[in-house]
Amino acid sequence: MAYKNIEVEEFINKTYSKDPAPGGGGVSSLCGSLGTALAGMVSNFTTGKKKYAEFEEDIKEIINKSKKLQNRFLDLIDEDEENFLPLSKAYGIKAETEEERKQKQKEISRCSIIACKAPMEIIDTAYEAIMLHKELVKKGSVLLISDVGVGIECLRSALKGGYLNMMINMGTITDKDFIDKNLNTYKNKVNDGIKLCDKIYEEVLNKLNIEGI
């Protein structure tokens, strides 16, 4: 099933059910897609306005980038499930002898690396989309500044959700090279992304002339 093609209510009901998918990864991707779509909405509203003519080329670029990132997030909903399936099967392998247990752990580790791929890309894609809102908080129509704030909060959820889904799989990986290559890189990217979200959110509040919460 392609989850990106089903109706919103059906997606939510499937998430609510006991089925493992869509789960946290798929929901994180959906949040990211919504947050990126808001970047597109703000940009589409801003383009062509005389007041923002100096930013016209930048806004057009954001329109194109936001659409690509929005679609990438939607694809990741299904990729996250597809990448999880081998790991689910690995956990079901019967292992009675010590050798069988070692082989099972090896297979779980291999499949955990596969399961990490979508969450890691969710983080990468969220970070890219956050950068679009960083521009829009200054270049987008002030009439839609609250939508920039909502968009950045959706992307914060995608960023942190991707990290949580990456980390739960990291715990069963025995490949030290993979962990050394990716663990700190993504931890730092998430921390940097959260700081950016905080800054952008504060700028939105300032433009709305309201106190932070």
Asked, for residue 79, whether it belongs to a domain, the answer is: yes
pLDDT in tens, 98-157: 999 999 999 999 999 999 999 999 999 999 999 999 999 999 999 999 999 999 999 999
Residue 8 counted as domain residue = no
Count up the domains in the chain and report the number.
1
- Local structure of residue 144 (DSSP, 8 states): G
Give me the CATH number covering residue 117: 1.20.120.680
Task: Report CA-CA distances (Å) from 158 to 93, 120, 152, 173, 193.
Answer: 32, 11, 10, 23, 11
**pLDDT tens track for 183-194:** 999 999 999 999
Full domain range(s) for residue 126: 20-207
Query: Residue 172's closest CA among 97, 79, 104, 99?
Result: 104
Residues with Cβ < 8 Å from 38, sequence gap 6 or more?
A: 147, 148, 150, 151, 154
In a domain, 15, yes or no: no
Looking at 6-10, 80-84, 154-158, which range is the least confident one?
6-10
- Residue 170 within any structural domain of the chain: yes
Q: What is the pLDDT of residue 1?
A: 61
Q: What is the pLDDT of residue 136?
A: 98
Condensed to tens digits (0 to 9), the pLDDT of residues 14-72 reads 889 988 778 899 999 999 999 999 999 999 999 999 999 999 999 999 999 999 999 99
How far are the Cα atoms of 46, 113, 140, 187 from residue 54, in angstroms, in the given order? Answer: 11, 46, 11, 36
Q: What pLDDT does residue 3 have?
A: 75
- Residue (of 139, 135, 128, 124) closest to 186 by Cα position: 124
User: Taking CA 148 as the corner, what is the angle to CA 55 and CA 37, rounded to the nearest 5 degrees?
Assistant: 90
* CA Rg value for the chain: 20
